[in-house]
A and B are shown apart, each in its own frame.
Chain A
Amino acid sequence: MTLENDRTNARVAELAAESCVALWRDYAVELTRASYDPDAAGDEPMLFGAIGFAGEMLRATCLLGAHRRLLQASGRADNQPRDWIAELSNQLMGRLKMRLLGCGVTVKLTTPLALSGIKLRPLPRMVQSPLSYQSALGPVVVWLEVESETGFVLGEERPLSVTPGDLVF
């Protein structure tokens, strides 16, 4: 792993951060970047969607976490929070995949899974730290672990002609 990889991985994490804010905004939830302190959350369980992607020289695992009350408030339909966080993680990775496509990188997504926990504490990996946000109904965390092969460089991003919510054809 080289410094170049560190920069690339950090850039992918930043694309994920932007994608996360845009995703929640589409469900009427405004996020602001904040520090995440698992101890401050007390014993309230958090639900997580777990999903990954893999491409030729780039792969990642992502956990998207939120409290039940935020999940219940954010869905457009009557939803089950475990199912909804898994779907949100799918939509988050779908957005990140679109951004990566704009950089000329194609990846395949896994299908999402849900899990729950209390005071989950990720370890910062390389230069990447977990992304965390605050909303009116509690925290949102994104733990993205990116691995890219030595020599992989993310190209300059070109906006795609389609965005989430569009009718492609």
Chain B
Amino acid sequence: MKKVLVVDDSQSIRNEVSDALGPAGFNVLQAADASEAFACLAKHQDISMVVLDVNMPGMSGIDVLERIQRERTDQVPPVLMLTTEAERSLVERAKKAGAKGWLLKPVKPQLLVSTVARLAR
């Protein structure tokens, strides 16, 4: 079962992602902020995909993405941004940092599942 890490400061969004991906056969891990995300990535080297919010307290999702790419030189999991942000400069920055997708909230569960299924390694 592929592991997907969802990083969002909203418990409701983490639950929504889990409810969508779980029945589709993914094992969903949750992190509420950057430090929990990095701890989870260190513990689970076999994570297949990261679903990442942008607007979070402390370190932003873009900062998290850039650090994942910088520090995990072995096998970096694909990252899908899931956010309310549509600002072009942020989208371009995420693309440059290696994000594989950018989904705008509120996401339809079917679109989330099909996107994760397509991008997960």
Q: Which B residues form the contact surface with A (CB < 8 A)?
A: 9-13, 15-16, 18-19, 55-57, 83-89, 91, 95, 101-109, 111, 115
Contact = CB atoms under 8 A, between A and B. Distances in A.
Give the secondary structure class of B's interface.
mixed
A6 interface: no
B104 A80 contact: no
Contacts of B88: 101
B28 to A, nearest CB: 12
B91 A167 contact: no
The interface size bin for chain A is 20 to 34
A77 B102 contact: no
B109 A91 contact: no
A78 B103 CA distance: 21
A166 B13 CA distance: 16
Nearest to A87: B10
B11 A94 contact: no
Contact of A166 (B12, B18, B95, B104): B104
A164 B12 contact: no
A80 B11 contact: yes
A97 B85 CA distance: 8
Contact of A111 (B12, B18, B57): B57
Contacts of A168: 86, 91, 101-104
A87 B104 contact: no
Contacts of B95: 169
A130 interface: no
A35 interface: no
A32 interface: no
B50 to A, nearest CB: 16
Contact of A101 (B10, B86, B101, B111): B86
B104 A83 contact: no
A165 B107 contact: yes
Nearest to B88: A101
Closest 8 CB pairs of A and B: A94-B84, A77-B15, A79-B12, A168-B102, A87-B10, A77-B16, A84-B12, A111-B57
Contacts of B102: 167-169
Given A84-B12, A101-B86, A168-B86, A163 B104 contact: yes
